[in-house]
Amino acid sequence: MILALAGGVGGAKLAHGLTRILDPSELVIAVNTGDDFLHLNYFICPDLDSVLYKLAGINDTERGWGIRDETWNFMESLKKVGGEDWFQLGDKDLATHVERTRRLSEGQTLSEVTQALCLQHDVRHTIIPMTDHRVGTVVDTKDGDFFFQDYFVRLRCAPEFTGVHYKGMEDAVPAPLFNQALNSPDLQAIIFCPSNPFVSIDPILSIPGVSDAIRQTEVPIVAVSPIIGGRAVKGPAAKMMQELGLPVSATGIAEHYGDLIDGLVIDEQDASLSAQILPTGTGVQVTNTLMKSAEDEKNLAETALNFARLLSHREF
């Protein structure tokens, strides 16, 4: 069984590639919930939705987020009556948030709600929130601290990034199925999807017990670099690395994860960075990491799995 840690769009793509190779019983996808927030009375889980919509085959590939063939009549009308329109909510997407909020208010856990939404969308692979507790990723900047959506959507990542902390993390525990996967004797590898290390993967790693469990497990830990040719495919990862003084490259990613990972998958155009990364003790696999098609997603998933297999010296 493979455990994948994922954030939003990049994570969703690799997760989708993994689902084309692995059966539902062979894969658990644990998703960042640090970006989750209450907006207009709904509980919105951007990363869970990105993974859900992608696996359900209803994601919008042009826009990169939300649902395909979306309409915006709610949002346009809300704007007309002077409502809060800084966070775009499509008419179809809205239904997910409303139904999630209803189920949560009835006392269901986020894991249970996510399972129900997967079922309704015929998604058979396991998508789970990293935790059922409410935690909030707070982006520390030179202009002050902001909840992720404020920083990302409202401020368009303009303030200079200095770090991240989490609200509510000290009381959080991994979601039951995530915990079970982390400690399962069937676990064969952990894949860090090419998501933002600071605001997508680190929140998952920051849940009390998760990093320790990952360090203690003997299975290979493979990360896929979200930085290609010195740029992030999407989002502020590159800007954040620069502002932190990290090399804006796969090398910086290797530096950031340090000895937590056993191997890093990097892009062909970054092949020369192997010489910088290998001496630190992290294995490197070079391949095409830019996922433009379902075929790219499957190929990258296959490469990451093979690389993990190689690192473990065990067949799975």
* Residues in contact with a copy of itself by the rule CB under 8 A: 40-42, 67, 70-71, 73-78, 80-84, 90-96, 98-99, 101-102, 105, 116-117, 120-121
Nearer to a copy of itself, 41 or 272 (CB): 41
Least distance to a copy of itself, CB of residue 57, Å:
13
Least distance to a copy of itself, CB of residue 69, Å:
9
Nearer to a copy of itself, 92 or 234 (CB): 92
Nearer to a copy of itself, 71 or 306 (CB): 71
Q: Are 29 and 15 in contact (CB under 8 A)?
A: yes
CA nearest 36: which of 206, 194, 167?
167
Least distance to a copy of itself, CB of residue 178, Å:
23
Nearer to a copy of itself, 73 or 216 (CB): 73
Distance CA 130, CA 179 (A): 9
Q: Which residues pair with 192 in a beta bridge?
A: 5, 223
- Helix (H) or strand (E) run with residue 296 in it: helix 294-312
Cα separations in angstroms, 19 against 54, 61, 63, 192, 206: 11, 18, 23, 15, 26
Distance CA 31, CA 48 (A): 6
Least distance to a copy of itself, CB of residue 80, Å:
6
CA nearest 157: which of 183, 114, 196?
196
Least distance to a copy of itself, CB of residue 100, Å:
9
Least distance to a copy of itself, CB of residue 84, Å:
7
Least distance to a copy of itself, CB of residue 240, Å:
32
Residue with tokens 């809060």: 84
Distance CA 23, CA 276 (A): 36
Nearer to a copy of itself, 39 or 234 (CB): 39
Distance CA 297, CA 59 (A): 15
Phi-psi region of 170 (alpha: psi -120 to 50; beta: other; left: phi over 0): alpha
Nearer to a copy of itself, 95 or 158 (CB): 95
Would you say how long the chain is, in residues? 316
Sign of CA dihedral 166, 167, 168, 174: negative
Nearer to a copy of itself, 26 or 99 (CB): 99
CA nearest 178: which of 8, 316, 31?
31
